[in-house]
Amino acid sequence: MILKIKTSADVPSSEITPESVYHSRRDFMKVGAAGAAGLAAAAAFGGVNAPLFAQANPYAAPLNPKFTVDPAVDKLNTYEQITSFNNFYEFGTDKSDPMRYASRMKVVPWTVDVDGLCNKPGKYDVEKLVDFKQLEERVYRHRCVEGWSMVMPWVGVPIKSVLDKLQPQAKAKYVEFHTLLRPGEMFGQKTGVLQWPYVEGLRMDEAMHPLAFMVVGLYGKVLPNQNGAPLRIHIPWKYGFKSGKSIVRIRFTETMPRNTWAVQTPSEYGFWANVNPEVDHPRWSQARETRLPSLLRNRPTLLFNGYADQVQSLYAGMDKKVLFY
Ligand code: MTE
């Protein structure tokens, strides 16, 4: 399938599905009317790229019911909330900076360099790494180490499906994800606020875990630049800084990656960064969190962000303090 990746700039705000319509569309799609949904989505895309999407809007992917939340407990945040309150220091440190400035980042074309301990190194177009015919939607809780959280309907594929194509070698114990380095478009990279490029990493079994997700879309649309277009990871049981954005390099290594925040402030951040209400940040408690848009610490933090039953076996025997750093 030849697929032109749209950018969020190609999607007029009139095409962003309002939440009410979105929820009824989800119910509609859940009953399996995928063909009809595809036609509706193609009509919704319209515009100059319409012929390329004649079959369907690939981002209007079916919800995977194994990876969702109880809407009575975890209400979806709105598209507006998810795209206007962001951490993406490449575009500034204020939460509204990414929304203002991330459109300066060119995301087409987009290639990813693959190197290190794998049998298929090289330069890959994003369409070669991610199978756009296999996209699925997952609703995940997202918990930032700063204490706020949201609930997002991401669209993507398991990270495992991408890494399998690259054939990691047995010696590869970790995988790194590097963000785009382009100071001309990302003015934050002209400052020393962090070491650039932003690097994150996972142990191989974490990256291969069914929950670990490679994201290309949000709310049934292409991923907005401020959320890490065109390719970011989301690791829902870890603090948000583990979920690197706008990935241009995947590297397999034998040694533990030196991730950006651990390099920047090793006394406060580490490699593991697993959500745990009992392990406080050195400067604040992690016992409770602020579920946006509320401004109150209105709910208890959950062990592994509520995914403990699925992931705690990865860390058998490891100390909870170690699992923070
Ligand atoms: N990735 C890059 N490249 N640069 C960043 O500053 N911030 C991280 C993470 N990934 C960050 C990044 C942090 S601290 C969080 S909480 C999440 O992105 C925020 O993701 P969101 O803006 O989509 O909610």
pLDDT digits (tens, 9 = 90+) for 28-80: 344 333 333 333 333 333 333 344 444 579 999 999 999 999 999 999 999 99
Answer whether 0.85 is exceeded by the pTM.
yes
253 forms beta bridges with 174
Burial classification of residue 256, based on how many CB atoms lie within 10 Å of its CB (0-12 exposed, 13-18 middle, 19 or more buried):
middle
88 lines ligand 1 (CB under 6 A): yes
For ligand 1, the distance from its centroid to the CA atom of residue 116, given in whole angstroms, is 25
- Domain contains 3: no
> Is 10 within the bounds of a domain?
no
Number of structural domains in the chain:
1
The count of other CB atoms within 10 Å of the CB of residue 264 is 14
Distance 233 CA to ligand 1 centre (A): 10
Residue 2 domain flag: no
Q: Is residue 129 part of a domain?
A: yes
Tens of pLDDT, residues 226-264: 999 999 999 999 999 999 999 999 999 999 999 999 999
76 C-beta closer than 6 A to ligand 1: no
For ligand 1, pick from 142, 245, 261, 281 the residue to mutate: most ligand atoms within 8 Å of CB.
245
The pair of three-digit structure tokens given for residue 317, joined into one six-digit string? 């025997």
The answer to the question of residue 211 being in a domain is: yes
Q: Is any atom of ligand 1 closer than 6 Å to the C-beta of 17? A: no
Choice from 97, 241, 246, 286 to test ligand 1 binding pocket (greatest atom count within 8 A of CB)? 241
CA of residue 247 to ligand 1 center, whole Å:
12
Three-state SS at 99? helix
* Distance from C-alpha of 92 to C-alpha of 94, rounded to nearest angstrom: 6
User: Counting beta carbons within 10 angstroms of the beta carbon of residue 166, is it exposed (0 to 12), middle (13 to 18) or buried (19 or more)?
Assistant: buried
Tell me the best of 80, 88, 248 to mutate to test the pocket of ligand 1, counting ligand atoms within 8 Å of each CB and taking the most. Answer: 88
Instruction: Give 150 Cα–ligand 1 centroid separation in angstroms.
Output: 13
pLDDT band at 320 (very low <50, low <70, confident <90, very high): confident
Summarised one tens digit per residue, pLDDT across range 176-223 is 999 999 999 999 999 999 999 999 999 999 999 999 999 999 999 999
Four-CA torsion 268, 180, 216, 67, nearest 10 degrees? -20
Residue 199's CATH number: 3.90.420.10
d(CA 292, CA 85): 10
Ligand 1 closest atom vs CA 144: 16
Determine the pLDDT at residue 323.
75
How far does residue 57's CA lie from ligand 1's centre (Å)? 26
Decide if 1 is inside a domain.
no
CA atoms of 9 and 318, how far apart (whole Å): 45
C-alpha 41/C-alpha 55 separation (Å) is: 9
Cβ of 227 closer than 6 Å to ligand 1, yes or no, is yes
Give the Å distance between the CA of 304 and the centre of ligand 1.
18
Q: Is residue 14 part of a domain?
A: no
Confidence of residue 10 (pLDDT cuts 50, 70, 90): low
Peptide bond into 183 cis (omega under 30): no
Measuring from atom 14 of ligand 1, which residue has the nearest CA? 241
User: Is 284 contained in some domain?
Assistant: yes
Q: Per the structure block, which two tokens stand in for 108?
A: 């087409």
Please give the distance, rounded to the nearest whole angstrom, from the Cα atom of residue 31 to the centre of ligand 1. 34
Residue 87 beta carbon below 6 angstroms from any ligand 1 atom: yes
Domain that holds residue 178: 21-323
User: What's the CA-to-centroid distance between 46 and ligand 1, angstroms?
Assistant: 31
